[in-house]
A and B are shown apart, each in its own frame.
Chain A
Amino acid sequence: MTEEILIAGFGGQGVLSMGKIMAYSGVIQDMEVSWMPSYGPEMRGGTANVIVILSSERISSPIIRHFDTAIILNQQSLDKFEQSVKPGGVLIYDGNGITRHPERKDISIYRVDAAEEASKMNSPKTFNMIVLGGFLKVKPVLTMENVIKGLKKSLPERYHKLIPENEKSLLRGEEIIKEIQKF
């Protein structure tokens, strides 16, 4: 099993940390993992993206251009990465601020309106956990149990009080993700 994932959005949306939680969860689930971020000034307020690979085998290249799943959190990233989803692959996006929706016909498309939901839940910081919950619903490559463990591992001790809120958001994401197009 190998799952090659791209997460892309604005800096500050928790793109890198969502990837980190996936990677930690993968390690807990005894998988090989790699987490390859974009880095530098573009992270600060600009676009941020990370490639996460989860695999049962040794990972060769951590840098790839085509993905099994792309998780897209803003318009720029959608424009840039829609074509990077492998045919038959999955694109998950948040509709917030999207004016041109995905157009590919050869992939499955899901929408998770996490920004809206996070504000409804009055929990803007767990926005990325709603997205992650949505991903896990579509691609159950990691168990929810291991994701919670991964969350604990990646969060500094002082934030552990926030875990229940994150857990709630993960579950909410599973509920609200909508299938737009099934390939």
Chain B
Amino acid sequence: MKDMTGIKEIISPENLAYKKSEILTDEIMHYCPGCGHSTAHRILAEIIEEEGIQQDTIGVSPVGCSVFLYNYLNIDWQEAAHGRAPAVATAIKRLLPEKFVFTYQGDGDLAAIGTAETIHACNRGENFLIIFVNNGIYGMTGGQMAPTTLPGMKSSTSPFGRDVRTMGNPLKMTDIVATLPGTYYVTRQSVHNPSNVKKTKRAMRKAFQYQKLNKGTCFIEIVSNCPSGWKMTPVQSNKWMEENMFPFYPLGDLKVPEEQPVQQPKSE
């Protein structure tokens, strides 16, 4: 056994590299190893904690893999029916305009069954944040084709690969909502490596700060992976995502407001 005195010296505030956010509960997450959801949750929790807005934030969770999101973040939550989160959030924000409201939705929820709710909330410029996690597949129900599944990509309902002639083309919802006058800040990020985690965190902080300006909908797409659904190891899935998803869903800002938030973003 090694000498423990050395470890005690290491555990000191100046050496702290990572601390679990107070906003995260002790509930064990149900996500598969390597899944991007848990990282996205952690970023969200950190922002709520750092901005000090726990008692002013209401989240709307979706139907899909992140259906149990309300178990993991210690804030008030509403669980929406499949695809309806933007409608639920619309009413919450209109009735409690001083609060921070966000939805967290997957690609099936946001870009298939909830297309109308998504587009109309953005078009009305509802003043909340939509976090859109796009992994190109229905994870929760066992790997079926999503509206964002890439051409040729295999899933349990496109076993020979997505044939765009019969199954349609993948829908770029983020590009669509960026064209709507109601959206204020639209960006596409990922959480598969530390530098992108930092970028996503910066984007999310901006989005919450923009919400105070009351200028319209903020929309953050997080292009993510699904090791189980894609039938890959976590490392393979991230590599596949970089090689296949990013060319189709390029990362970066799609709409950036000229006006900057009152508070400048903290440096991450």
The short answer to whether A and B are in direct contact, CB under 8 Å, is no
A: residues with CB less than 8 A from B are none
B: residues with CB less than 8 A from A are none
